[in-house]
Amino acid sequence: MFGLNFFSQQPQWTVSSIPDLSGRVAIVTGGNTGLGYITVRELARKGARVYMLSRTDTRAFAAMDKIKGELGPELNPQVEYINFDLLSLNSAKKAADTFLQKEKRLDILVNNAGIMATPYELGPDGIEIQASNGTGHFALTMSLLPLLKTIAAMPDSHVRIVNVSSFGYFFAYAASKPDFSSLEGLNQKTWSTWVRYGRSKLMNILFTNELQKRLTESGTNNIYCLSVHPGGVSTELTRGPLQSWPFLAPLEQIARMFLATPEQGALTQLYAAGSLEVEEKDLKAALLSPVAQVATKASLAEDKDGKMGSDFWNLCEALMREKVRD
């Protein structure tokens, strides 16, 4: 993920601080590799039943087998797979429906999947593929929200919605102010693929803000929505920049030497997903940076008047009505 490497010092928070999650159910998108893989593994280590949502069946099953091998039969990790294509709103709804047929509770949703700095391309719904970092997770989350609310109303609930963003949202400042009020605005071509990436990561934060606000206004106070910047991490996200600039391939291995490992990078989203401090510190709609620290939002991400967040929400709802088939 984009950002400086914040991991030069030993982190103060570790996954050992996550309480026992036995009986809890979690979803992690993009869980077959990188940050998502570590998040699935560590939530399962703590006893949660974890659903790995990803696009490629073979890679998901291989990742699940690896997790079970790493944790061993004594822990008997509960990891299952549901197909999910971030680029398709219909796939998001279908994945949610499949999950709801299998489970009667959901405690943790980690919207981790994403693509970065890819060449301009429209996906199957006519949405610019990097913008799907925002729209795909909106569709999945809203399809699961009724169940999340039900669980939040139960005693001893600790419901979390974690949206993995990036300080890469600052790239959105390198062009005119984003317009999320229409599909044309969402799909706007920019002078750099990094600007589109920045806008997609801004969407993740705006969605977090708006969702938390609407939950509070509706009287749902026991769901904690957070955005996370993982830091500079060595993951498969580099595929996007290499598609845009193939000549950078010889430098990739050198760059990885200065990035954090996925184990380090996943710490902050694991904190957001499982630490009881989130509730103790009332971190609703917070933006977290490594490791488990509250970051100050820049003006675009703060969205004081709520217009961009509301525009993005309304557009996503309209796109779902148009694109999602029953």
User: How confident is the prediction along the chain (326 residues), in pLDDT tens digits per residue?
Assistant: 444 444 445 447 999 999 999 999 999 999 999 999 999 999 999 999 999 999 999 999 999 999 999 999 999 999 999 999 999 999 999 999 999 999 999 999 999 999 998 999 999 999 999 999 999 999 999 999 999 999 999 999 999 999 999 999 999 999 999 999 999 999 999 999 999 999 999 999 999 999 999 999 999 999 999 999 998 755 554 443 444 434 344 444 444 445 668 899 999 999 999 999 999 999 999 999 999 999 999 999 999 999 999 999 999 999 999 999 87
d(CA 320, CA 325): 9
Peptide bond preceding 291: is omega within 30 degrees of 0, i.e. cis? yes
Sign of the torsion angle spanned by Cα atoms 193, 288, 222, 24: positive
Are the C-beta atoms of residues 44 and 50 closer than 8 Å to each other? yes
Domain that includes residue 183, residue range = 21-323
Rounded alpha-carbon distances, angstroms, from residue 29 to 9, 69, 88, 113: 29, 21, 13, 5
φ and ψ at 6, to 5 degrees?
-95, 15
In a domain, 27, yes or no: yes
Position 238, amino acid? T
- Assess if residue 8 is contained within a domain: no
The CATH number given to whatever domain includes residue 162 is: 3.40.50.720
By the 10 Å C-beta count (0-12 exposed, 13-18 middle, 19+ buried), 89 is classed as: buried
Place of tokens 């991490």: 233
Report the alpha-carbon distance of residue 217 to residue 221 in Å, rounded. Answer: 9
Does 1 map to a domain? no
In a domain, 141, yes or no: yes
Report the pLDDT value the prediction gives residue 117, as an integer from 0 to 100.
86
Place of tokens 């703060």: 302
**Chain position carrying tokens 């719904």:** 125
Question: In which region does residue 154 sit, left (phi positive, over 0), alpha (psi from -120 to 50) or beta (all else)?
Answer: beta
Q: Which residue(s) pair with 268 in the sheet?
A: none
Give the chain's domain count.
1
Any domain includes 2? no
Residue pair 153/217 in contact by the 8 Å Cβ criterion: no
In a domain, 88, yes or no: yes
Euclidean distance between CA atoms 20 and 150, whole angstroms: 21
Residues labelled as active-site residues: 197, 201
Q: Is residue 6 part of a domain?
A: no
Is the entire prediction scored with pTM above 0.75? yes
d(CA 316, CA 308): 12
Domain-located, residue 3: no
Q: State both tokens at 191.
A: 């002078």
